[in-house]
Amino acid sequence: MTTLTERWLRPQRPRTQFPPYELGDADIVGMAQARTDTVARIYHKGHEQAWDGRQVLDELIAKHGGIHFPEDKRDAFGTVASVLLWGELAAWSISADLALKLDETPAKMAASSQVFDEARHFYTLRDYLWRANVPVKKLGGWSRRLLVELLETENLLYKVVGMQLLVESMAVVIFRSIADARIEPVLTDLLYYFERDEARHVGLGVLTLPDVLEGLSDRDALSLWWFQTRMQLEMIMGGLNINPSFVALGVDPAAMNLAGFRYHHEIIRRMKNTRPGRGTDQASVKGLFRLSKTAQDAFQNLFFPTAAPPAWQRTFLATMVGVAQRTDRWLARRAA
C-alpha cells in the first residue's frame, strides 16, 4: 500500500486503483473518520453557504439602482479583473481535477463543492463585467504562465499548495482590498460572497496538507519549496505589471502585500495546529515556503519604500518594472 504522500506526489490511474474498496469498509473508514470530519465539513458548509449568482447580482443591481461604474476606473479594473476572471476559470478546472484525482473521500467532497463555487464565481464575475461595460481583457504573460503551470502539473501536492495556499489566499486579499476601496456599490457587495467562498477553499489546503507534507522526504520537500519559489517569483513579476492598475483603482499595493504576508502567516499557524494532541508541530508545514519576519520587512521596504528611496533603489525598482513589463509582453506573445 502506497503512502498518502506518495499518492499525492505520483497519483495512480483508475486502471490500477479503481474502485478503492477500502472506502466501503466500515472499520477502516471509522478509524480515519474522526480525523477527516473537519475536511468533509468544508463540503457541507459549501452547501449551506451556496448562493445563486444570477439572483444575487440581480438583487444587488436593484438595491443600488443599477451599476454605475466610474468611467476613469473602467480600464484599470479591466486589467485587474482579467486576472480574477481567468483565475476563476483556472480554479474551476483545477478543483475539478482535484475532485477527480484525490482519493480520500472528505478531500474529494471538499474539492467537488469547490467546483460549484468556482463555476459560480466565473459566470457571475463575467456577467458583472459585461453589465458594467468593463472590458474583458487578455491575461498578462506572467499570470498566464503561473495558471498554466498549475493547470498542467500532475503532482497533486503542487496543485493543492499552488492553488489553495498561494492563489486562493491571494484571491482573498485582492477581493477584500477591492471591496474596501468601494469602487462601485454592486461590486463591493458582490465581492463579499466571493471572499467567503475563497476562504473555504484555503481551508481545504490547510486541513489536508499537514498529513501529506509530514511524509515528504527531504528531497521532495526541497522540490516543493523550489516549485513555490518559482510561483512566488511569477507572482512578483505579475504584480509589478498590474500594480499601476491597483493604484488607479485606489488600492494600495503596499498595504495589499502586507495583508498577503499576514494572511500567509495565519495559514501557517493554522496548519501547525490542525492535528489535535500534537500541539504546534513543524512537520505539518514541511517544505512550505516561508519568509521570516526580517525577510518580509526587507522585501516590503525594497519593493514598497515608505520614504523617498535612495538612488540605487530607484534604479533597481525602475529596472525591475522594465524587465517585468518586457518579459510579460514576450510571454503573452508566445501564448497560443
- CA–CA dist 201, 204 (Å, integer): 5
Q: What is the number of other CB atoms lying within 10 angstroms of the CB of residue 242?
A: 22
Question: CB 293 → Fe ion: shortest distance, Å?
Answer: 28
Which CB, 111 or 331, lies closer to Fe ion? 111
Which cell goes with 61? 443591481
Find, among 81, 85, 83, the residue nearest to 123 by Cα.
85
Position among 198, 211, 234, 328 found at the interface with Fe ion (CB under 5 A)? 198
Between 235 and 248, name the residue whose CB sits nearer to Fe ion: 235
Least distance between Fe ion and beta carbon 279 (Å): 30
CB of 265 to Fe ion, least distance (A): 20
DSSP character at residue 183: S
Listed residue (51, 47, 35, 168) closest to 98, CA to CA: 168
Closest distance of CB 95 from Fe ion, Å: 7
In the complex, what is the shortest distance from the CB of residue 88 to Fe ion, in angstroms, rounded to a whole number?
A: 5
Tell me phi and psi for residue 16, to 5 degrees.
Answer: -105, -15
For residues 173 and 261, the answer to whether their CB atoms sit within 8 Å is: no
Number of neighbours of residue 15 by Cβ within 10 angstroms? 6
DSSP 277-295: TS-S-GGGGTT-----HHH
* Under rule CB under 5 A, residue 176 binds Fe ion: no
Residue pointed to by grid coordinates 484571491: 171
Is 94 a binding residue for Fe ion by CB under 5 A? The answer is no
x/- track of binding to Fe ion for residues 119-158 (CB under 5 A): --x-------------------------------------
Distance set, CA 171 to CA 201, 251, 302 (Å): 10, 14, 23
CB of 198 to Fe ion, least distance (A): 5
Q: Output the smallest distance, CB 201 to Fe ion, in A.
A: 4
Per DSSP, 110 falls in state H
Give the interface segment with Fe ion, choosing from 28-36, 167-175, 247-255, 258-266 (CB under 5 A): 167-175
Nearer to Fe ion, 88 or 220 (CB): 88
**Span near Fe ion by CB under 5 A; candidates 8-16, 19-27, 90-98, 252-260:** 90-98
Contact segment (CB under 5 A) with Fe ion among 41-49, 135-143, 201-209, 295-303 equals 201-209
Measured from the CB atom, the residue of 121 and 286 that comes closer to Fe ion is: 121
- x/- string (CB under 5 A) for Fe ion, residues 10-39? ------------------------------
Q: How far is the CB of 172 from Fe ion (least distance, A)?
A: 9
| Residue 201 within binding range of Fe ion, rule CB under 5 A | yes
Please say which residue, 197 or 220, places its beta carbon nearer to Fe ion: 197
Cα separation, 269 vs 229, in Å, equals 20
Measure Cα distances from 69 to 188, 193, 212, 251, 259 in Å: 11, 19, 45, 16, 26
Would you say 103 or 198 has its CB closer to Fe ion? 198
What is the b/e burial string over 113-135, where b = at least 16 CB atoms within 10 angstroms of the residue's CB? Answer: bbbebbbbbbbbbbebbeebebe
* Residues at the site binding Fe ion, with contacts judged by CB under 5 A: 88, 91, 118, 121, 168, 198, 201
